[in-house]
Amino acid sequence: MRGNDVRGTVADGFEPVREVFEAILDAEGADLCAQVAVYHHGDPVVDFWAGAEAASDSLLGTYSVSKGLAHLVVALLVQQCVLDLDQRVGHYWPDFAVHGKGELSLRELLSHQSGLAGATDGFSMAELADDRLVAERLGAQRPFWRPATASGYHALVMGALSGEVVRRATGQTVQSLFATHLRDPFKLDLHFGLPADQDHRFLPAQPMVATPERLRDLAASATAPNSLSGIAFNRHHPDNHEVWELPNLQVVRSAGPASFGAVGAARDLAKLYSAAIVPIDGIAPLLTPDTVAAFGQIQCVGWDLVLRQEKAWAVGFHPVSEIYPSLGAGAFGHSGAGGQQAFADPRNGLSYAFLRRRFHYPPQADADHKRILRAVYAAVEQVR
Amino acid sequence: MRGNDVRGTVADGFEPVREVFEAILDAEGADLCAQVAVYHHGDPVVDFWAGAEAASDSLLGTYSVSKGLAHLVVALLVQQCVLDLDQRVGHYWPDFAVHGKGELSLRELLSHQSGLAGATDGFSMAELADDRLVAERLGAQRPFWRPATASGYHALVMGALSGEVVRRATGQTVQSLFATHLRDPFKLDLHFGLPADQDHRFLPAQPMVATPERLRDLAASATAPNSLSGIAFNRHHPDNHEVWELPNLQVVRSAGPASFGAVGAARDLAKLYSAAIVPIDGIAPLLTPDTVAAFGQIQCVGWDLVLRQEKAWAVGFHPVSEIYPSLGAGAFGHSGAGGQQAFADPRNGLSYAFLRRRFHYPPQADADHKRILRAVYAAVEQVR
Amino acid sequence: MRGNDVRGTVADGFEPVREVFEAILDAEGADLCAQVAVYHHGDPVVDFWAGAEAASDSLLGTYSVSKGLAHLVVALLVQQCVLDLDQRVGHYWPDFAVHGKGELSLRELLSHQSGLAGATDGFSMAELADDRLVAERLGAQRPFWRPATASGYHALVMGALSGEVVRRATGQTVQSLFATHLRDPFKLDLHFGLPADQDHRFLPAQPMVATPERLRDLAASATAPNSLSGIAFNRHHPDNHEVWELPNLQVVRSAGPASFGAVGAARDLAKLYSAAIVPIDGIAPLLTPDTVAAFGQIQCVGWDLVLRQEKAWAVGFHPVSEIYPSLGAGAFGHSGAGGQQAFADPRNGLSYAFLRRRFHYPPQADADHKRILRAVYAAVEQVR
């Protein structure tokens, strides 16, 4: 069997997705372990995986897809009136209200507007895996930009900040609430803190296929390690590891930091996002239409000071329909640095997840997702 | 006579405008009915039209040029202190102040920042032509983005929203005020609600000249009908018509919705914008310099979530000098979706209007207007 | 000796900077008088100059590098609690608080958000050189855009506005404070108001090397003299001079307007920015780390209505690391219209200055600076 042979199941009408998935695998130029899953109105309609070492129950690093999982917990807490998006962060977390951050609201924090995209002096890997330490250090810090006047992707720390608000308000970590309220009821193979007895199912992440040309291109657009982008990716700290390596670090896998520490499978991501918007396993949708609308609402749009590109942010999620033109307004989810993606499209009753073991090159997998999504939505049109 | 033969009159020194107009007609690749008119310090200096079926008194759909007409009424009301741009919309219209819209000011509403770019479930054509129904439905709705943090073109509904503020404050519709205070005193052939006995002068709008290549290009950049852009153009409603067809619908022509329902002629548009800034027909300028400055002032600039491009907004108008480099600061007006344009340039004592029967391809006529305006401003330099 | 022969001194390890400087001189296509200087941890490590008429003590116009000098004075006043960045401008300067500017804060003024990018009717050159007159006229004016919702480079007037705040708060001009607190203690050859007995050392500025092609390209992108960009560069006033000529006007050189009137040498600019962040001449750093962070903090980012490009602003300075990827976060300084540049990079203990007598073409010297800075930072890596 070729490594790129696609395995899994697909519902009637969605077969064309396989072809697009295969084309993406073929274009990689090396064995690629990847998973793609789609739910439609609560039913799994695509569940494919590929890769020489991949099994049907393999687990992969999700990178920043983790932030979406953590923020589904935040959405539940807002729905339960435990948190209020228009409340000042300092209301829940008084130590945060320093250096001009006193008026910042929870919705502004969640849309990457706090200016705390990284730590002045960086973090060791052990520190970075410790959400509480990260939050404490950043909460005391002067923001890199004037809060609520611009956004910049809080790549490695957003979950620590939002998680600290959760902890202050509930006494529990966002990871623990995720396990209790999302993972367990839906039997999801998604883990903030992978149990040691499951670690054998984890397939370590792989770096992109590096060619001299690719390395030269990346170097040409590189920013300094202590630039704002460098700081957001912790490149200014001596103990730094490259982003692709993060899930391979034991300390990350076992602590499960909310920003990038979740490990799991695409089918469970798609199931979770489906459960957020439609009934599944006999359980009512997790989120009411009002909550869905509140978290899919676009909070800001403009130049992202970390990513150095135009960017729109919803509340703790990407407003993914700004990126993928086949989606409905209000679709919300979160991508991962290596080409991962997971979201719900409430208007179309769809959810989608894609994980890949090897980092994508160029560092932008949206073209791949666009192609798959075109096939998915064409299928939806047909089966309707 | 060729359809493209240009008819009309032109003042000494402005003859080169004819040549540019002819070039635009020739480039169309089909018969094009179009009108272009310019006033300079209150005098008509260009009044051209072309098209096989065109007569000197033909009427065309103005599309969103309508918004500029409605907002000239708003400017008069602000000048008369009936409306206050810094007042909350909810002050005039209490039902509007829900779902986080309570603090939105009238100037923010008029600069497309309310987030109400369309209706969740869309409108039938009859509903869309009914400004009061549109306002009622949108006023109660959750905005698609956080009000006053971004803009997105309220393509089909802006006039219903601003018109509702007018109606609440004055008891009269913006259409009725337009007729009383602008159309009648200046004897303008501009109509929100075309009288049945004038309908024979209306030339139905035409779709762009479609080639397989153009259709393919448009499809490649298309967004989903229920994406934010789709919703703003009502493409998610089963009873949807394409934008180019709107003035051809009897219900639109007779109701005259403020966002896109006006029918008229370029010479009257240019006359009205001239009357706004200089004396005409023995009547003092409609707007004082202070009002002109207040409505030409740029209110916001950034990524437009509907148009998916960088966009600046003045108060209910386009700050057209941001688009056409030959204009003075503070020029204000409004374009239409098919390539229409009408504005005043107070610093240069000029007004300009261009209507066309057939939708422009590509869907962006600014290059045409730039060329004409270069010729106009060169003529102004010469005759000065 | 060729005019382009580079003279000056360089520390061990920084020799490669000479080669890049020579390449820039060679690319000019004409004799170019230019100066480049670098300080590293308080030591001068690069001090080069070139040009047929250049002497080691030649003085050049600094253009808007002047704004950085004036705003170092503002930073000192904030550090001394004489000024408060979050205070309303109208608190210090009551006449300013009209036409919707009442709530504008000092930090918003300093980040080019006031909307007072130029005067409605422009300035004669004598008026433009008179900061107090400029401030009085602009303070009374309606802003071109809604204050604090957008930025636009206040090219010729920013220093008059910030200087008026200084004057109101201290009773002294920013120029006088610069002389007392910065120029004299560090014996800097930097002058707001060049003494007559030093005028012989000034090398008059030169226009860009004009070719028919370059002139055509510039004309193609030109905006109207009374457009917003034209107004910001005072091109709508009959007594206007082109920007490159400004330091050649006696009235400018002797009055030394804070926006563009300073004359000096690159080595003194680099020394001053070094003195701002590290001990020099036995004097403690001028600015505390807190002040450095406050003025390097990004205040806004978005479309600049005057420059017509995406732009980020710190408090009175450019956040230069947004432009030069080799710099650390928080680097702050100010460029000049002809290709001048001067800044400090606190994270790396570096300062940099570059002056050139002839205007750069294309009107964007960032590529030159990027090349020099790559060589500088490579040298820093090596000598560390």
A150 touches chain C (CB under 8 A): yes
pLDDT digits (tens, 9 = 90+) for B150-195: 999 999 999 999 999 999 999 999 999 999 999 999 999 999 999 9
Alpha helices of B210-364 — where are they, by DSSP H? Answer: 212-220, 228-232, 250-255, 266-277, 289-296
Q: Report chain C residues whose CB lies below 8 A from the CB of A150.
A: 298, 300-301, 312
- Any chains having at least 3 CB pairs less than 8 A from chain C are A, B
The model carries a pTM of: 0.95
Amino acid at A247: P
Q: Quick check: helix, strand or coil at residue C101?
A: coil
Residues of A in contact with C302 (CB under 8 A): 302-303
Q: Assign 3-class secondary structure to chain A.
A: CCCCCCEEEECCCCCHHHHHHHHHHHHCCCCCCEEEEEEECCEEEEEEEECCCCCCCCEEECCCHHHHHHHHHHHHHHHCCCCCCCCEHHHHCHHHCCCCCCCCEHHHHHCCCCCCCCCCCCCCHHHHCCHHHHHHHHHCCCCCECCCCCECCCCCCHHHHHHHHHHHHHCCCHHHHHHHHHHCCCCCCEEECCCHHHHHHECCCECCCCCHHHHHHHHHCCCCCCCHHHHHCCCCCCCCCCHHHHHHCHHHHHHCCCCCCEEECHHHHHHHHHHHHCCECCECCCCCHHHHHHHHCECEEEEECCCCEEEEECCCCECHHHCCCCCCCCCEEEECCCCCEEEEEHHHCEEEEEEECECCCCCCCHHHHHHHHHHHHHHHHHHC
- Per-residue pLDDT reduced to its tens digit, C57-84: 999 999 999 999 999 999 999 999 999 9
DSSP-based three-state secondary structure for B305: coil
CB C329 to CB A230 under 8 A? yes
pLDDT recorded at residue B3: 43
pLDDT at B220: 86
Bridge partners, A47 (sequence order): A9, A37
**Residue C220's pLDDT is what?**
86
| pLDDT number for residue C82 | 98
The answer to whether C224 contacts B298, with C-beta atoms less than 8 Å apart, is no
Distance CA C176, CA C178 (A): 5
Compare CB distances from B227 to A86, A107, A321 and report the shortest one's residue: A321
Q: How far B303 CA sits from the closest chain A CA (Å)?
A: 6
pLDDT, mean of residues A104-117? 98
Mean pLDDT throughout C29-55?
Answer: 97
* Rounded Cα–Cα distance for residues C363 and C341 (Å): 13
pLDDT in tens, B224-247: 999 999 999 999 999 889 999 999
Probe site for chain B from A290, A322, A381 (most B CB atoms < 10 A): A322
CA B5 remoteness from chain centre = 27
- C7–B contact, CB cutoff 8 A: no
Contact status of C116 with chain B (Cβ, < 8 Å): no
Give the distance from residue B369's alpha carbon to the nearest chain C alpha carbon, in angstroms.
15
Contact B227 A328 (CB under 8 A): yes
A106, pLDDT greater than 50: yes
Cβ <8 Å between A301 and B146: no
**What ipTM was estimated for this complex?**
0.94
Q: Point out the residue among B228, B302, B303 whose CB comes nearest to the CB of A329.
A: B228
* Mutation choice for B interface testing from A111, A300, A324, A352 by most B CBs within 10 A: A300
Interface residue A297 vs chain B (CB under 8 A): yes
Residue A3 has pLDDT above 70, yes or no: no
State pLDDT tens for residues C159-214: 999 999 999 999 999 999 999 999 999 999 999 999 999 999 999 999 999 899 99
pLDDT tens, A163-185? 999 999 999 999 999 999 999 99
Taking the Cβ of residue C305 and every Cβ of chain B, the question of whether any pair is shorter than 8 Å is answered with yes
Name every chain C residue with its beta carbon within 8 A of the beta carbon of B300.
146, 149-150
Which of B100, B223, B302 faces A302 most closely, judged by CB atoms? B302
pLDDT confidence band for C263 (50 / 70 / 90): very high
**DSSP H or E stretch at residue C291:** helix C289-296
* Beta-bridge mates of residue B7: B49
Residue C377 forms contact with A (CB below 8 Å): yes
Q: How close is the nearest chain A Cα to the Cα of C15, in Å?
A: 22
**The predicted structure's pLDDT at residue C2:** 47
Of C142, C149, C222, nearest to B293 by CB-CB distance is C142
Q: In this complex, which chains have at least 3 CB pairs below 8 Å with chain B? A: A, C
* A213-217, C42-46, C90-94: segment of lowest average pLDDT: A213-217
The answer, for B310 touching chain C at a CB cutoff of 8 Å, is: yes
How far apart CA C135 and CA C123 sit, in angstroms, is 12
CB–CB contacts below 8 A, A to B: 61
Q: Which residue on chain C is closest to A220 by alpha carbon?
A: C325
| Mutation choice for C interface testing from A99, A141, A223 by most C CBs within 10 A | A223
pLDDT tens-digit series, residues C269-301: 999 999 999 999 889 999 999 999 999 999 999
Backbone angles phi, psi at C130, to 5 degrees: -105, 95
> Residue A224 and residue C377: Cβ atoms within 8 Å?
yes
Quote the DSSP letter at residue B181.
I
Cross-chain Cβ contact B226/A310 below 8 Å? no
- Chain B residue with minimum CA distance to A111: B146
Asked if A377 is an interface residue toward chain B (Cβ–Cβ < 8 A), one would say yes
Residue C357: pLDDT above 70? yes
CB-CB under 8 Å, A298 with B145: yes
Measured between CA atoms, the residue of chain B closest to residue C304 is B301
Instruction: Indicate yes or no: CB of A297 within 8 angstroms of CB of B144.
Output: yes
Cβ contact A328–B149 (<8 Å): no
| B299 reaches C (C-beta below 8 A) | yes
| In the predicted structure, residue A2 carries a pLDDT above the cut 60 | no
pLDDT in the model for residue C4: 60
Residue C382 binned pLDDT confidence (cut-offs 50, 70, 90): confident
Size of interface B-C (CB pairs under 8 A): 60
Residues of chain C in contact with residue B310, where contact means CB-CB under 8 angstroms, are 303
Best B347, B348, B371 residue to mutate vs chain C (most C CBs within 10 Å)? B347
Residue A1 is predicted with a pLDDT of: 39
Cβ contact A328–B150 (<8 Å): no
Residue of A nearest to B145 (CA): A298
Instruction: State residue B2's pLDDT score.
Output: 47
Determine the Cα–Cα distance for residues C222 and A183; give it in Å rounded to an integer.
60
Q: Does C218 touch chain B (CB under 8 A)?
A: no
pLDDT at A231 over 50: yes
Say which of A142, A226, A302 has its CB closest to residue C301.
A302
Q: Which residues of B touch A300 (CB under 8 A)?
A: 146, 149-150
Minimum Cα–Cα distance from C145: chain B residue? B298
C198 shares contact with chain B (CB less than 8 Å): no
Question: Could you tell me if C312 lies within 8 Å of chain A, comparing CB atoms?
Answer: yes
Q: How far is B309 from chain A (nearest CA, A)?
A: 11
Which residues numbered 55-114 in C keep a CB inside 8 Å of some CB on A? 86, 107
Question: In this predicted structure, what is the pLDDT of residue B364?
Answer: 81
Mutation choice for B interface testing from C98, C101, C112, C146 by most B CBs within 10 A: C146
Q: Residues of chain B whose pLDDT is less than 50? A: 1-3
A150, A224, A231 ranked by CB distance to C300: nearest: A150
| A contact chains, 3+ CB pairs < 8 A | B, C
